[in-house]
Amino acid sequence: MPSLLVVTQCCKSKQSVELFPDMNVSVLSRLSDWARERLLRARELFRDRIYGVEEVTALSLYVGYEYEVLDKRLIHDLYLRGEVDFIIISAGYGVVHAFEKIREYEVHMDSRTTRTWIRNGLPLIIANYIANTHPKEVYRFFSKTSGYQEIFREAINHLPKDLETKIYAVYPENCRGMINIMRSLGQAINHLIKERRKPRKIGRCTITLEKLK
């Protein structure tokens, strides 16, 4: 059981350059049979939007503002030590592990995509992953108004009532512009996994912690 699970969002900017060639960890291996089958069926709906040729780990593929400041090597090391787990809500794949092999795609988590994933059970699937992996704490890092937040909020409603995992939302406030928001998310993740606590401020951004469960 990892001490904490980080959940964050994918991004538009992608680059198929593998940083972790020896890693290949799929969320599918941690799902119950029904959840695995449901996720695979849902992924088929977006198959024609996936255009990449080479498969690389998700943590390598994403290179947007949040990911360019992430300490990806530290995430890798802490994962191997069993201290940190890391999953990403993806517009093209639903949910992926940080070290899951995926290809480049062109899907945005707009309102239509969000509704499609919710209708096809993504919140239930995420809840199943959390229930099966039993982290002590879950920290979700999304921009404050996003489809990712809607999906995760619904996932919490499907968690087992007796699950002892504590769940927190971390989000930046009073930032100036989306670039600062996304970079502060990555920096807040770095701080959390290094120090085991969230930072109060990153640059101009105030980092807010909200207990969800």
* pLDDT value of residue 1: 67
Contact 213, 167 (CB under 8 A): yes
| Residue of 119, 114, 112 lying closest to 90 (CA atoms) | 114
Sequence-separated (6 or more) residues with CB below 8 Å from residue 113: 91, 107, 147
CA dist 155 and 45 (Å) reads: 20
How confident is residue 146, by pLDDT bands cut at 50, 70 and 90? confident
Average pLDDT of every residue of the chain = 95
pLDDT tens sequence across 56-73? 999 999 999 999 999 999
CA dist 110 and 207 (Å) reads: 25
Task: Give the phi and the psi of residue 178 in degrees, each rounded to 5.
Answer: -65, -35
* pLDDT value of residue 112: 95
pLDDT tens sequence across 45-59? 999 999 999 999 999
Sequence-separated (6 or more) residues with CB below 8 Å from residue 11: 62, 63, 64, 65, 66, 67, 182
* pLDDT value of residue 203: 84
Cα maximum dimension of the chain: 45
What share of the chain has pLDDT > 90, as a percent? 88
Please tell me the total count of domains within the chain: 1
Which domain covers residue 199, as residue numbers?
4-211
Which stretch of DSSP H or E encloses residue 118?
helix 111-119
48: DSSP letter: G
pLDDT exceeds 90 at position 4: yes
How confident is residue 145, by pLDDT bands cut at 50, 70 and 90? low
pLDDT exceeds 90 at position 82: yes
CA dist 144 and 181 (Å) reads: 9
Which of 4-8, 189-193, 203-207 is predicted with the least confidence, judged by mean pLDDT? Answer: 203-207
Read off the pLDDT of each residue in 75-84 and give the average, rounded to a whole number: 97
- Beta strands 84-90; 56-57: pairing state: unpaired
What pTM was estimated for this model as a whole? 0.96
pLDDT tens sequence across 101-130? 999 999 999 999 999 999 999 999 999 999
Cβ contacts of 104-108, under 8 Å, gap ≥ 24: 104/14, 104/16, 104/50, 104/51, 104/52, 104/61, 105/14, 105/46, 105/49, 105/50, 105/51, 105/52, 106/49, 106/51, 107/46, 107/49, 108/12
* pLDDT value of residue 138: 97
